[in-house]
């Protein structure tokens, strides 16, 4: 039973030790913690706060510790509370007195803030690569499906025919914005807290810019109180992560729908599905369902972090230790979901014929008939009414507009002639929407070209 320090007359209670220790999860920060310590030690030596001999002992010790951690030989102890104290104690055990000098001009408060920023920076860079890989899968699938037509839906009702490539390129755009958000918030992550010490700064002649440079930060945090207590960067990241997961959940929902026998638009390859323990016929789209489900925990963590920071007085408070588990979980969830999604899209089978016959069913070209009448000089609102009547008539006959006899169509407007059938076809409808952002195959080809340039 050891006292926390000589200030105390009693040891920390076992139950308190367990409650307050973070080493079981913050050991994830070990390598960035060592990275931060190396830079701090180099600065201490440059500023003549420690000697060259001390520095080389510290470097030697930290390298050894890094190897121990990487080979899983490092013995973590809950008695040493967190990753920082575990490493510092081991350093002193290894190299003796110089190890006790590493914490000069530093506090765990600026140390942990630095660690989180270094760790998250790596995670963000990794996410950016993963998003690009998914965008690449989308592009490959889109290229094969420029002329594949499916019914575009609004309110889940048939609206207008859409190129399947155009449809999935919508997700490319969402992911492009996700990258933009990560790149933008990375600027606010990439600032150095170290030097703030506990909260007020330090009386040693430190060089914060030098440490920032060594750790590849873009600059230093301007205010020591803010530096140790700010967790905005984690909240911002979590929000960006929530949006990534939201986008994946939308895509998931469509895949689940499309893979159902009622749609049968796509086939998710077997490797991504499971069966049922009771119903032998089942093939369940577990992966997109789980992605959809995992949005819950990511959004939950966002609320946890917002609540953690709400009304927190300056400067560091132990509350902030609670930032880690949510963020670690968000990073893992987003990484895994992006990885598995890219592979699933890569192997997705598209049932072009089913899509096309569905597009032929729900009067998807009704707007085209209205536009046709407008081009013949009828006001749009009037044309809309004419086509609504024609749809009602053909619904009763069980026919599609394109299947109606010319004489029948002409009952609704004398402006209709036999050129009407060109606009009533799916291809005609698609081709007509030939502008930036439209679904005409020509426009989609251009969109694909631009998309490819964006992920180069």
Binding site for ligand ARG (CB under 6 A): 22, 26, 82, 108-109, 112, 316, 318, 320-321
Q: How far is the CB of 318 from ligand ARG (least distance, A)?
A: 6
> How far, in Å, CA of 197 to CA of 178, rounded?
34
User: Closer CB to ligand ARG, residue 26 or residue 54?
Assistant: 26
* Per-position DSSP letters for 63-124, written without gaps between them: HHHHHHHHTT-----GGG-SHHHHHHHHHHHHH-HHHHHTTTT--HHHHHHHHHHHHHHHHH
Q: What is the DSSP letter of 313?
A: P
Q: How far is the CB of 16 from ligand ARG (least distance, A)?
A: 13
Sequence-distant (≥ 6) Cβ neighbours of residue 197 within 8 angstroms: 105, 106, 107, 109, 110, 224
> Per the residue annotation, which of 24, 51, 269, 276 is the catalytic one?
276
269 catalytic residue (yes or no): no
As given in the structure block, the two tokens for residue 121 are 């920076």
107 catalytic residue (yes or no): no
Q: Find where tokens 């340039």 sit.
A: 453
As given in the structure block, the two tokens for residue 431 are 């081709």
Sequence-distant (≥ 6) Cβ neighbours of residue 56 within 8 angstroms: none
162 strand-pairing partners: 150
Q: Is 331 helix (H, G, I), strand (E, B) or coil?
A: helix
Q: How far is the CB of 283 from ligand ARG (least distance, A)?
A: 45
> Per the residue annotation, which of 9, 72, 155, 277 is the catalytic one?
155
Q: How far is the CB of 119 from ligand ARG (least distance, A)?
A: 12
Q: For residue 416, say if its preceding peptide bond is cis, omega within 30 degrees of 0.
A: no
6 phi and psi angles, rounded to 5 deg: -65, -10
Q: Within 13 Å of residue 367, how many CA atoms lie on the same side as its CB?
A: 11
CA-based angle 121:124:127, to the nearest 5?
155
User: Closer CB to ligand ARG, residue 321 or residue 337?
Assistant: 321
User: Closer CB to ligand ARG, residue 109 or residue 190?
Assistant: 109
Q: Within 13 Å of residue 4, how many CA atoms lie on the same side as its CB?
A: 11
Q: Are strands 219-220 and 266-267 parallel, antiparallel or unpaired?
A: unpaired
User: Closer CB to ligand ARG, residue 22 or residue 137?
Assistant: 22
User: Closer CB to ligand ARG, residue 108 or residue 167?
Assistant: 108
Neighbours of 123 (CB within 10 A): 21
User: Closer CB to ligand ARG, residue 319 or residue 403?
Assistant: 319
Q: How far is the CB of 115 from ligand ARG (least distance, A)?
A: 9
* Burial readout 134-150 (b: 16 or more C-beta within 10 A, e: otherwise): bbbbbbebbeebbebbb
Q: How far is the CB of 449 from ligand ARG (least distance, A)?
A: 48
Q: How far is the CB of 356 from ligand ARG (least distance, A)?
A: 57
> How far, in Å, CA of 285 to CA of 256, rounded?
6
User: Closer CB to ligand ARG, residue 108 or residue 179?
Assistant: 108
Neighbours of 89 (CB within 10 A): 14
User: Closer CB to ligand ARG, residue 112 or residue 118?
Assistant: 112
Q: How far is the CB of 84 from ligand ARG (least distance, A)?
A: 6
Which positions are catalytic? Answer: 155, 276
């Amino acid at each position: 039973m050891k006292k926390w320090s000589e200030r105390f007359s009693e040891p920390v209670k076992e139950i308190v030790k367990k409650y307050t220790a973070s080493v079981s999860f913050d050991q994830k920060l070990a390598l960035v913690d060592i990275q931060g310590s190396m830079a701090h030690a180099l600065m201490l030596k440059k500023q003549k706060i420690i000697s060259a001999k001390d520095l080389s002992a510290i470097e030697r010790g930290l390298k050894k510790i890094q190897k121990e951690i990487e080979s899983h030989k490092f013995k973590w102890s809950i008695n040493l509370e967190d990753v920082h104290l575990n490493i510092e104690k081991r350093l002193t055990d290894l190299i003796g007195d110089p190890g006790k000098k590493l914490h000069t001009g530093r506090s765990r408060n600026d140390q942990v803030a630095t660690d989180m920023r270094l760790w998250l920076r790596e995670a963000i860079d990794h996410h950016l690569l993963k998003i690009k890989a998914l965008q690449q899968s989308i592009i490959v699938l889109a290229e094969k499906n420029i002329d594949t037509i499916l019914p575009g839906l609004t309110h889940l009702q048939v609206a207008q025919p859409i190129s399947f490539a155009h449809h999935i390129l919508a997700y490319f755009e969402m992911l492009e914005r996700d990258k933009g958000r990560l790149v933008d918030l990375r600027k606010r992550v990439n600032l150095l807290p170290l030097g703030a010490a506990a909260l007020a700064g330090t009386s040693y002649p430190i060089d914060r810019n030098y440490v920032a440079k060594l750790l590849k930060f873009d600059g230093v945090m301007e205010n020591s109180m803010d530096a140790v207590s700010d967790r905005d960067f984690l909240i911002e990241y979590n929000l960006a992560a929530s949006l990534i997961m939201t986008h994946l959940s939308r895509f998931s929902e469509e895949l689940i729908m499309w893979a159902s026998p009622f749609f049968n638009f796509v086939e998710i390859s077997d490797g991504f599905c499971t069966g049922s323990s009771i119903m032998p016929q089942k093939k369940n789209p577990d992966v997109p369902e789980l992605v959809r489900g995992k949005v819950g925990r990511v959004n939950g963590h966002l609320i946890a972090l917002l609540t953690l920071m709400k009304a927190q007085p300056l400067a560091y408070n132990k509350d902030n230790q609670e930032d880690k588990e949510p963020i670690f979980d968000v990073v893992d969830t987003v990484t895994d979901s992006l990885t598995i999604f890219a592979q699933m899209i890569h192997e997705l089978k598209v049932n072009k014929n089913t899509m096309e016959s569905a597009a032929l069913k729900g009067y998807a070209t009704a707007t085209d008939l209205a536009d046709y009448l407008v081009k013949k000089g009828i006001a749009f609102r009037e044309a809309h009414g004419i086509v609504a009547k024609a749809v009602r008539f053909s619904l009763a006959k069980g026919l599609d507009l394109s299947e109606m006899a010319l004489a029948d169509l002409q009952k609704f407007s004398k402006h209709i002639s036999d050129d009407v059938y060109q606009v009533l076809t799916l291809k005609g409808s698609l081709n007509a929407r030939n502008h930036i952002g439209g679904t005409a195959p020509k426009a989609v080809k251009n969109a694909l070209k631009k998309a490819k340039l964006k992920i180069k």
